[in-house]
Amino acid sequence: MRISVEMASQLLNEGNIVAVPTETVYGLAASLLQPEAIQSIFSLKGRPANNPLIIHLAEVSELANYTQSLPPSVFSLAADFWPGPMTLVLPIRETSIPYKVRAGLSTAAFRIPSHKAAHRLLQKTGPLVMPSANLSGKPSATSADHIEHDFGLSFPILDGGDCLGGLESTILLYQQEKWRVIRLGALPPECFDKTLGYVPLIDSATSSQPLCPGQLYRHYAPETKLTLLKEIPADGSGIILGYRDREYPSSYRPLYLGELSQPEKVAENLYTTLRTLDLDSIPSAWVDINVPHAGLWLTILERLAKASNG
Ligand code: TXA
Ligand code: MG
């Protein structure tokens, strides 16, 4: 069910969950003040309780309601990247944020989205927690149709059109006197060089206790079994997720993610393409990962690796 900003605000303030567009992916929103709605988000998504939620704000000044002793450069990062697809994990005053939201951690994740409808809504509702609006483990949702598919036709959706970024926010955490990327996202690590004076390192998330709890779990995965290929065997066949500006042997049936020359478009199309595989009941597909190892491609490769469970 498509609803207005006014209706979305009313539903959220009454303790309901609403799907909300952002510039990255759609979120499943609940008011930070509604503990039961927050609990329902976990059950609705099938989300593990130890995976905390991002708190979305309308203005930077709201941070002061929750945080303490902020790490350096928070306000420079905020000035350069908010509103936008950057999430900062910050130390908080534990009494200011429900235990469930932060999964018991003494930090919380914050983001100010730039999507106009999300921003107007946040101005009316105050802080909203929003995980991506998909069933846990499945590809994220970048259109209202995706949400209807996952949660049914009567689910309330603030329809903001297709998400143009198509990849979740980049998450930064301050540790040992440096900011680190703990989840790759819509902003490549190099983006932060100008603001910080260095490129934040990427936390490899190989440990059993990653800095970003969400990295523990399977993500973005369609039912289709995906196999990543660095080289395309000339004698192979089957469906291949590939690029329009590359030639494939005629024995393959390419399903195009976009063009190698336009990683932003590949990002925008990624989850829709993964969802199409399931809609078409395709049992298995190859994925061409012979792409540059830089910029937005790093995030795209990470999502494809997770989607293939590899
Ligand atoms: O673009 C986005 O970030 C989207 C839109 C809706 O804003 N949201 C999103 O939320 O991707 P979700 O729940 O799918 O991913 C949030 C990630 C999880 O991996 C979680 O573990 C991590 O943020 N996270 C949240 N709080 C954290 C904290 N205090 N410390 C470390 N990681 C945290
Ligand atoms: Mg997610």
b/e per residue, 6-45, with b = 16+ CB within 10 A?
eebbebbeeebbbbbbbbbbbbbbbbbebeebbebbbebb
Q: Which ligand has an atom closest to residue 41 CA?
A: 1
For 9, phi then psi, to 5°, come to: -65, -45
Global pTM exceeds 0.85: yes
Pocket test for ligand 1, best of 18, 44, 57, 87 (most atoms within 8 A of CB): 87
**Does ligand 1 have an atom closer than 6 angstroms to the CB of 53?**
yes
The finding on whether 89 has its CB within 6 A of some atom of ligand 1 is yes
Residue 304 has a pLDDT of: 97
Tens digit of pLDDT at every position of the chain (310 positions): 999 999 999 999 999 999 999 999 999 999 999 999 999 999 999 999 999 999 999 999 999 999 989 999 999 999 999 999 999 999 999 999 999 999 999 999 999 999 999 999 999 999 999 999 999 999 999 999 999 999 999 999 999 999 999 999 999 999 999 999 999 999 999 999 999 999 999 997 666 778 899 888 878 999 999 999 999 999 999 999 999 999 999 999 999 999 999 999 999 999 999 999 999 999 999 999 999 999 999 999 999 999 998 5
State the Cα–Cα distance between residues 241 and 125, nearest whole angstrom: 41
pLDDT 10s digits, 174-215: 999 999 999 999 999 999 999 999 999 999 766 677 889 988
Instruction: Kindly identify the ligand whose nearest atom is closest to the C-alpha of 110.
Output: 1
